[in-house]
Chains A and B, each alone.
Chain A
Amino acid sequence: MLRVIVRRLLQLVVTLIALSALIFIWLRNLPGGPIEALLGERATPERRALLTKALGYDQPILVQYAKFMQRVLTGNFGNSIRTGDPVTEVIGRAFPATIELALAAMIIAVGLGVPLGYLAARHRGRLLDNLSIAGTLLGISIPIFFLGYLLKDVFTQNIHWFPPSGRLSTGVDNTNVTGFFVLDGLLTREFDATADALWHLILPAFTLATIPLAVIVRITRASVLDVLNEDYVRTAEAKGLRHKTIRGRHILRNALLPVVTTIGLQTGALLSGAVLTEKVYNWGGLGTLITDSISGGRDYPVLQTLILLAALVFVVVNLLVDLSYAFIDPRVRVR
């Protein structure tokens, strides 16, 4: 087991190095750049050259990359070109917001997706099943930004159930401990802040959850249908066990194995979906930071760290999924 973990961690390091090189080269080759953003279009060539040299962008790209990696290894990610703040600080502010949003979306997707998928399988070919198939198709096909604006329009403009944007209402006082507003409220016993944060969270989380939810419903349904045909389910029935036991211990325990894998892969969808969702609801997380950093003059230090962080999150989540697999399925443990 330990050997597996070590091997996967080594793979992770190699993946990240390769990715960082790709991102670095790709970013430097994007048209436009920080020089234009900082000095404006009409700056003299002399001033441009001066700033380019000062920022080190005149050096060969491999040298720039080597210097970047050198700094990264010492924990120095540089300063944002846009604001001048350290990159770690800029990202540290936005990171909890996105994680909170993504976690809430995943809880919704799994919490609704698994029961729905199970019910659809048990009612195969009947109304509920057909509705779920049509619904998931719709969920996968609707663009997130469209759904986001639609939900926002309906639930904040027509019927005022939810706040239109932001993470907290103005005037709600919360103590910032972890940056996760729901958690902060609980930790500091400011329950009104928790309630307000949750109230702000629901609509964006639902928007972000639609695609993973649809995928999880589909996977669960297919997986449960497979398991229902297994001999051990018939054995469980022959034992006269209660529905509850058969459902939990014999059907879902086996059917959820593929679903767990899906959850890992959907992290990618969540991260990319977060960019759009955060834009719609003015959420102020990593997604907002990415779009601001690109449109606000190619903030190289922030961008390369951000993309690397996103890749790291994706790889780590999938590593955790693979490891959890070994605990769920005894057959994997032996190998």
Chain B
Amino acid sequence: MSLLDVRDLSVVFQRRGERPFTAVDEVSFSVEPGQTVGLVGESGCGKSVTSLAIMGLLPRRGNKVSGQVMFDGADLLALRPDDMRDRRGRDIGMIFQDPLSSLNPVVPIGTQVAEVLERHRGMDRKAALKEARELLDAVGIPDPNRRLKEYPHQISGGMRQRALIAIALACKPRLLIADEPTTALDVTIQAQILTLLKQLVDETGTALIMITHDLGVVAGLCDTVNVLYGGKVVERAARHELFARPRHPYTHGLLNSVPRLDSPRGERLHAIRGSVADNIPWVEGCAFAPRCDNVVDACLEGTPPLEPTATGGDLRCNNPVTEEVAVP
């Protein structure tokens, strides 16, 4: 049985006086124990909203969440808020994009790690701080005894993200959701954090949902990749399959737009035409159609279905790409 099974998850933002906006549109995917799954797409494709919906962290007002999120035999969306509160931080951990703003500026790092242990593992402050020290050590923060008493502004960005990872993994959750964990960091630090995540996930057997717009992150980490566009999954494939034979024109465009060091001098970078603003509603056809090089008449006649492919993935496209690209 899958650890996490997301079925037909939809999130509609409804603000008074505005037209409802469907941020996540019947997204389904599953995560096996210990597996690393990528959610990939550009800004506004619904990947962060998906993760917040799974965690039950969307604002209580102004949105409608439907579908099912089965975790451990229970539908997280149907849980009472207090039961969900018990699971957050204990069974599912989460890491956010900006490590500085994600830590409380007026509370010492040690307390911020210890409080999650006190909450879910019933430790007293002293035991929790001792465990917090171990955790900071495990995520590679030097001199953890000193860091326990320091405040977020006193440590570097990379260390802050390490501290957040320590917090998310403190209770040994079975699932970790990382929402663009390296976006706010320097490139050299990015690699360190990704290596650390990979190592910790391998050691503890924690399943990981990696949310990113960075295909490099996906290439180094994920077993399976879900490509999201306009709130829907447009392609799902194993990592090697996706990089070797991207079928959806959007995925293909994403891979082609990665700059490469071995390309001939003077060659122009490939870019996907237009922007998300050009999308058409899914009910009228494929949302990507206005930007697509492979567009055919069928693309403007209703939503293309998500269909299984011969290689074990899924694809939502009327006229898929057939050429192969070399892994960047």
Contacts and interface: CB of A to CB of B under 8 A. Distances in A.
B57 A237 contact: yes
A236 B94 CA distance: 10
Interface of B: 55, 57, 85-90, 93-94, 96, 98, 101-107, 111, 115-116, 119-120, 151, 153-154, 164, 167-168
Interface of A: 230-232, 234-242, 245, 249-250, 253-254, 328-331, 334
A109 to B, nearest CB: 23
A329 B85 CA distance: 29
A253 B90 CA distance: 25
Nearest to A257: B106
B120 A232 contact: no
A331 B152 CA distance: 9
Contacts of A240: 85-90, 116, 119-120
A239 B153 CA distance: 21
Contacts, number: 78
Contacts of A245: 115, 119
Given A239-B115, A240-B116, A329 B86 contact: no
Nearest to B105: A331
B88 A239 contact: yes
Nearest to B116: A239
A280 to B, nearest CB: 41
B275 to A, nearest CB: 26
A245 B112 CA distance: 11
A232 B102 contact: yes
A250 B104 contact: yes
A232 B57 contact: no
Interface of chain A: mostly helix, strand, loop or mixed:
helix
Contacts of B101: 230-232
A238 B94 contact: yes
Contact of A250 (B90, B107, B116, B153): B107
A253 B105 CA distance: 10
B57 A234 contact: yes
B104 A238 contact: no
Contacts of B57: 234, 237-238
Given A230-B101, A237-B88, A239-B89, A253 B115 contact: no
11 contacts: A231-B98, A232-B105, A234-B102, A235-B164, A240-B89, A245-B115, A249-B107, A249-B115, A253-B106, A330-B153, A331-B105
Contacts of A238: 55, 57, 88-89, 93-94, 96, 168
A239 B102 contact: no
Nearest to A245: B115
A232 B101 CA distance: 6
B115 A241 contact: yes
Given A235-B96, A241-B119, A330-B153, A254 B102 contact: no
A63 B86 CA distance: 76
B119 A232 contact: no
A299 B119 CA distance: 64
Contacts of B167: 235, 239
A141 B42 CA distance: 51
A231 B111 CA distance: 17
A330 B85 CA distance: 29
B153 to A, nearest CB: 5
Contacts of A328: 106
5 closest pairs, A vs B, by CB?
Answer: A240-B88, A240-B89, A239-B89, A231-B101, A330-B151
Query: Of residues A240, A253, A331, which shows the largest number of chain B Cβ atoms within 10 Å of its Cβ?
Result: A240
A253 B107 contact: yes
Nearest to B88: A240
Given A235-B167, A245-B119, 8 more contacts: A234-B57, A238-B89, A245-B115, A249-B115, A253-B106, A330-B106, A331-B105, A331-B106
A238 B151 CA distance: 20
B290 to A, nearest CB: 34
A333 to B, nearest CB: 9
Contacts of B93: 238
Given A231-B98, A237-B57, A330-B151, A254 B106 contact: yes
Query: Of residues B102, B119, B167, which shows the largest number of chain A Cβ atoms within 10 Å of its Cβ?
Result: B102
Contacts of B116: 239-241
Contact of A232 (B55, B103, B153): B103
A253 to B, nearest CB: 5
A235 B57 CA distance: 10
Contacts of B94: 238
A331 B103 CA distance: 13
Given A231-B98, A330-B153, A239 B119 contact: yes
Contacts of A231: 96, 98, 101-102
Contacts of A234: 57, 96, 102
